[in-house]
A and B are shown apart, each in its own frame.
Chain A
Amino acid sequence: METLEQIKARIEKSVPLTKLDILPNECPLGERSLLVEAGRAFDVAKFLRDDAQLRLDYCSNVTGVDWPETVIKTKVKKKVVVEGVEKEVEETIETLRSGHLEVVYHLYSMALKHGPIVLRLRTENRADKTHLPSLTPLWRGAEFQEREIFDLYGVIFDGHPDLRRILMWDEFVGFPMRKDYVAPDDFEYEPTPHDEVLVEAKKHYPVEVDAVAATTANNLNKESMNP
């Protein structure tokens, strides 16, 4: 198969007005991916499917990924001259990464037995602009997977033939696979090695008035956890 750069150049020649980015992958054995603008995604995907050299007729996997707004801290070493002496100072630069939802398509070719090409689509934000074009008209196999992403992440696929909740019930509100989803609080108390479960479970019990009683209870918990 051609390299990703060649494919990118060919797409940009064939599909007008497309801007593509090749995203690096720090994992040496993993594949790099093509970031496609949402507006042109359908045409790019169609090109990939129909091009005689690529013939990516098989859309194996569709994944939703949630990237909430985060502050990324990068440490940079700087040389500063303090009172005539040169010193190395570490400085933390904070950059705000805007939040978005991402849909990743893994495309293979059954006819030519090669692949994968990884296609990434990004929504503008996580709140109201979560529309992406659906690729189900190109690959039927994406149908249920896109529905699943709609259900669990809240990406709205324009052009999807039957966009309904698939795993959760219809009355359900919220998108449980997003990183900031808060699950209903229905744990029961139980000494458990999963710290998060224990924290959840403990919320159900009256707040200790007596600090001494609290510590004894904590000790008891610890004991029951490590018999």
Chain B
Amino acid sequence: MIEAGLKNELQKQGVYVTSLQELYNWGRANSVWPLTFGLACCAIEMMAASMARFDLARFGAEVFRPSPRQADLMIVAGTVTKKMAPLVVRLYNQMPEPKYVIAMGACAISGGPFKQGYNVLKGVDRYIPVDVAIPGCPPRPEALLHAIMTLQEKILNQKLTGPDRPRHLKAEVEGAYPVPVYGRHDLEPPNNPALWQPPAIKR
């Protein structure tokens, strides 16, 4: 690892030194391709973010791919209903590693305004891991841009080696999550206990 001072000094002389990790992450962070995946109202703001005024292309994330096989990022933009949840998990499973998830809007985070609904999943994090959550109903396109930047930061700081390297670099860890099935009243199981437990309240 080259130390930062020396690196700066060299940069001033026109010599760019970098590590493989930085280079690799830099490339990944600036070409995050999202999945064209709109669920509800938030999807319109997601579209607006990729359109003329907000221009998601500045962050290298404008290439919306219709197929999960070509996407790196799933923007869960909208209410995940129980009828839709198995499909969301399946789509997530079909994405190649490394893959990331942004939960956009109150609904994707916790059910939002529709929390009392019998058919509404109270948070997509019950079935798939979420990297960045954007509050709002709907979040403004700027908030989505901020989420993309947060995600880029996260990607830039991921280690290639060592014990705390991310999931996609650990061969033994499974990247697919069990898909819930439609039950008689609810999804079965109602959440993935490996991922989500009801928060413990400290009294």
CB <8 Å contact, A186 and B182: no
B201 and A188 form a contact (CB under 8 A): no
Q: Does A213 contact B (CB under 8 A)?
A: yes
Query: Are A188's CB and B118's CB within 8 A?
Result: no
Given contact pairs A169-B182, A173-B184, A174-B185, A217 touches B119 in the complex (Cβ within 8 A): no
Q: In the complex, what distance in Å separates the CA atom of A172 from the CA atom of B118?
A: 12
Contacts of A196 in B (CB 8 A): 116
Q: Does B199 contact A (CB under 8 A)?
A: yes
Contact with A along B169-203 (1 / 0, CB 8 A): 00000000000001111100011000000110101
- With the chains together, A173 CA to B83 CA distance in Å? 14
Interface size bracket, B side: 20 to 34
Contact A188 B199 (CB under 8 A): yes
> In the bound complex, do residue A168 and residue B119 qualify as a contact, i.e. CB atoms below 8 Å apart?
yes
Nearest CB of chain B from residue A178's CB, rounded to whole Å: 11
Known: A171-B183, A172-B182. A186 touches B199 (CB 8 A): no
Q: Does B65 contact A (CB under 8 A)?
A: no
Q: Is the beta-carbon distance between A197 and B116 smaller than 8 angstroms?
A: yes
Option from A172, A194, A216 in Cβ contact (under 8 Å) with B185: A172
- Cβ-based interface call for A141 (8 A): no
- CB-CB < 8 A to B198: which residues of A? 188-189, 204
Residues of chain B within 8 A (CB-CB) of A217 are 201, 203
Question: Is there contact, CB below 8 Å, between A186 and B122?
Answer: yes
Residue B138 is within 8 A (CB to CB) of chain A in the complex: no
Q: Which residue of B lies closest to A176 (CB)?
A: B118
Q: Is the CB of B199 within 8 A of A213?
A: no
Alpha-carbon gap, A204 to B122, bound state (A)? 14
**With A176-B118, A184-B186, A204-B198 as contacts: A213 and B203 at CB distance below 8 Å:** yes
Q: Which residues of chain A are near B110, meaning CB under 8 Å?
A: 188, 190
Using A172-B184, A176-B118, A183-B117 as known contacts, list a sample of 9 further A-B pairs with CB atoms less than 8 Å apart, ordered by residue number in A. Answer: A169-B83, A169-B182, A171-B182, A173-B184, A184-B185, A187-B122, A188-B198, A188-B199, A189-B199
Listed by A's residue number, 19 A-B pairs whose Cβ atoms lie within 8 Å are: A167-B119, A169-B83, A169-B182, A171-B183, A172-B184, A173-B184, A173-B185, A183-B118, A184-B185, A186-B190, A187-B122, A188-B122, A188-B198, A189-B199, A194-B115, A196-B116, A197-B116, A204-B198, A205-B201
B residues touching A (Cβ–Cβ < 8 Å)?
Answer: 82-83, 110, 115-119, 122-123, 182-186, 190-191, 198-199, 201, 203
A residues touching B (Cβ–Cβ < 8 Å)?
167-174, 176, 181, 183-184, 186-190, 192, 194, 196-197, 204-205, 213, 216-217, 220
Which 5 residue pairs are nearest across A and B when measured between Cβ atoms?
A: A184-B186, A183-B118, A169-B182, A173-B184, A171-B182
